[in-house]
Amino acid sequence: MSQTMEMFEKIKPKRISDEIYKQIKELILSGKLQPGQKLPPERELAANMGVSRPSLREAIHRLEAQGFVYNVQGSGTFVRSMTQNSMGIAIDEFFKRDESIFDAVEMRKVLETWAARIAAERATDEEIAQMEEYLEEMRIACEQTQVGHEPDASFHSTISHATHNVLLVHIMNTIHHWVEQVSFEVRSRMFQDPNHHNLLYRQHRAVFEAIRDRDPERATLAMLDHMKYIEDQTRKIFSPKE
């Protein structure tokens, strides 16, 4: 009897920090907290959850150690892309190769095209309204001959969110992180020519209108047309000169 009793352990009450950890982790895994999204300040979050700041801090440290969030000194705590965290040093080494950027842009073309198709089927009215706001910011940037990199990136990010596929959102966030500097350079050079500037806006408008009209086929073709153009321009700018 005594040996049987030894197999059992006393039930311990759950620690508050464990419950905080589980709740925030589930919000990330479910896509309610998006990659790159900033968590509320510690004081506000603790008050909202009805917990002490030390318990919250312990949970955040655990999430950070496991790669769910990261801290930027003086800025706060942000959700980390799950796919970016999982690839580690190997992917950083890969991107030291000159040819790697073309692989990334080609992969982005495939995923962005699929995302536009699914977004046309699943986007909420709020997400479509958000896309239109970013499109308007791009139009203003175009008129003022500004690069307009931020509204462009946000437009594409909103499309990936509109798929409501959590893994795709994280993968796309990682790819945008990889090609961000290259994308900025491509846009900067293209925008030296007003014809490129206007064409890019028209391409984004075509993608938006197809998604707004809930037309998956049109959205697919519009995004493919845009991404092929970006791919061609990237190769022209970054291919080794003979």
- Mean pLDDT, consecutive 10-residue stretches, the chain (242 aa), reads 56 76 89 89 91 90 87 90 64 65 87 97 96 93 76 91 90 78 69 76 96 98 95 81 58
In angstroms, what CA-CA distances link 54 with 16, 20, 50, 71, 77? 10, 11, 12, 16, 15
What are the beta bridge partners of residue 70? 78
Intervals of CATH 1.10.10.10 along the chain:
16-79
Residue in 162, 140, 143 with CA at minimum distance from that of residue 151? 140
Q: What is the dihedral of CA 140, 224, 30, 91, to 10 degrees?
A: -100
Predicted local distance difference test score (pLDDT) of residue 84: 64
Predicted local distance difference test score (pLDDT) of residue 210: 98
What are the beta bridge partners of residue 76? 72
Predicted local distance difference test score (pLDDT) of residue 98: 65
Domain at 16-79, CATH from 1.10.10.10, 3.40.30.120, 1.20.120.1200, 3.20.20.70? 1.10.10.10
Predicted local distance difference test score (pLDDT) of residue 215: 98
Predicted local distance difference test score (pLDDT) of residue 177: 74
H helix runs in the chain, sequence order: 2-5, 16-29, 42-49, 53-65, 82-94, 100-122, 125-143, 149-161, 166-190, 194-212, 216-238
Predicted local distance difference test score (pLDDT) of residue 2: 57
How far is C-alpha 58 from the geometric centre of its chain's CA atoms?
26
Instruction: Map residue 46 onto helix, strand or coil.
Output: helix
CA distance between the termini of the chain: 84
- CATH superfamily of domain region 86-238: GntR ligand-binding domain-like (1.20.120.530)
pLDDT digits (tens, 9 = 90+) for 18-32: 889 889 998 888 888
pLDDT digits (tens, 9 = 90+) for 95-112: 666 677 788 888 899 999
What's at 116, amino acid-wise? A
CA–CA distance, 44 with 64 (Å, rounded to integer) = 19
How far is C-alpha 17 from the geometric centre of its chain's CA atoms?
28
Cβ contacts of residue 210 below 8 Å, gap of 6+? 116, 120, 218, 219, 221, 222
Predicted local distance difference test score (pLDDT) of residue 207: 98
Count Cβ atoms below 10 Å from residue 25 Cβ, excluding itself: 17
